Amino acid sequence: IPPVQRSIASAIFGLTVTFAPAIGPTIGGWLTDSFSWHWIFYINLLPGAALIAMIAWGLDSQPMRLDRLAGGDWGGIVCMAVGLGCLEYVLEEGQRKDWFGDDLILLCAVVASVFLLAFLIIELSRREPFIDLRLLRKRSLAVACAVNFASGLALYGSIYILPLYLQRVQGYNAFQIGMVQMWMGLPQLAILPLLPLVSKWIDSRVVLAFGLSLFAASCLMNGYDMSADTGIDQLKWSQLVRALGQPFIISPLSQMATVGIQPAQAGAASALFNMARNLGGSFGIAMLATAAEHREQWHFSAIAERITGNSLLLAERLERMSEVVGSDQAVARLAMQVRQQALVMGYADCFLLIGAGLLVSLLGVAFLSRAQPGAGGGGH
């Protein structure tokens, strides 16, 4: 891509990172409600076929170098595959299986630790490693990966938490949840034409800080304003704020990640950059699932303690409810209301945690090197 067009290419590529997770739930919800949940597994068939055709037409074919397989970093590849695979299983299944109380989770955690440590040793000792971890000595790439880890945590973590709230508290179906998510997807298309102009005239660090600030603001809006009555009419505003901020994160961040990276190192830098975002998403979902459950339990205990501590108020509340549904049902309904409030407060705490993490990641922006106008986004 000519240097003058790289900012446009970077903007388009960066948009796919944030737009796809936003619009995917909308399409998946429509398929689930209109046909069956089985249909969501076919959602990639048509786009996949189109991509195969585009790759065959748009990418130059290169001769196969089978002779290079013999000298490949197979030890590093195997250690990375096994280590990351076990780590992914631990993060995804840990909360459901009581973490290290489950023998398989404990075994996978040990295997992941051993193989990932071996992966680090192999990659740092080989002259031609599978992934050159020595590139992280470059400050801009290392900081960009850290910020990308935080943005991945926020991106996938918030997409995980919001549907849980809408389903468990509001009783939304899959399509209704998708319609809420759509408010952070479609507006990004309107921002796309602005990204190349912004990256051309404004310091990429300022653009990144702007995007992170808006993303953080949207999460804090959810955290502070969330109640049992919060639905699409309230959430669409925070989703719009998020939609305005997300496109201004990936594109400038990927440009700054490649500052000082030689063309021959671009592939390894890209792998590190993308891996940071994906690991951030996995850690984010696991962390937030645990945090939501623990905070719900804490809020339930705190509310119950305050209610029982004010026995007169509790007696009056139960008396009014008993007149309508009977004493046994009154106690059950009150417990259900307390549980619902605790659930909402737990999800609100998760959004506050995500927002705080994004604000902390703003500190890393000061340590990034400014990308030159027209710099490529090789960090994708």
Residue 154 lies in a domain: yes
Q: Is the pLDDT of residue 89 over 50?
A: yes
Evaluate whether 285 touches 94 at the Cβ level (below 8 Å): no
Residue 90 lies in a domain: no
Side-chain half-sphere exposure of 330, counting CA atoms within 13 A: 14
Q: What is the pLDDT of residues 10-57, one digit of tens each?
A: 667 666 766 777 777 778 878 888 888 788 888 888 888 998 998 888
Residue 71 lies in a domain: no
Q: Is the pLDDT of residue 78 over 50?
A: yes
Q: What is the pLDDT of residues 248-260, one digit of tens each?
A: 888 888 888 888 7
Residue 223 lies in a domain: yes
Q: How many domains does the chain have?
A: 1
- Mean pLDDT, all residues of the chain: 82
Evaluate whether 115 touches 323 at the Cβ level (below 8 Å): no
pTM given for the model: 0.81
Distances (CA, A) of 63 to 52, 54, 67, 115: 18, 19, 11, 33
The region that residue 372 occupies, defined by phi over 0 for left and psi between -120 and 50 for alpha, beta otherwise, is: beta
Query: What is the rounded CA–CA span in Å between residue 339 and residue 296?
Result: 8
Looking at per-residue pLDDT, the higher value among 155 and 26 belongs to 155
Residue 24 lies in a domain: yes
Query: What is the rounded CA–CA span in Å between residue 245 and residue 208?
Result: 9
Mean pLDDT, residues 261-289 taken together = 85
Looking at per-residue pLDDT, the higher value among 365 and 73 belongs to 365
Residue 48 lies in a domain: yes
Query: What per-residue confidence (pLDDT) applies to 315?
Result: 61
Domain of residue 345, residue span: 3-53+130-365
Q: Which residue has the tokens 């739930």?
A: 25
366 token code pair: 């000061």
Residue 345 lies in a domain: yes
Q: Is the pLDDT of residue 345 over 90?
A: yes
Residue 232 lies in a domain: yes
Q: Is the pLDDT of residue 107 over 90?
A: yes
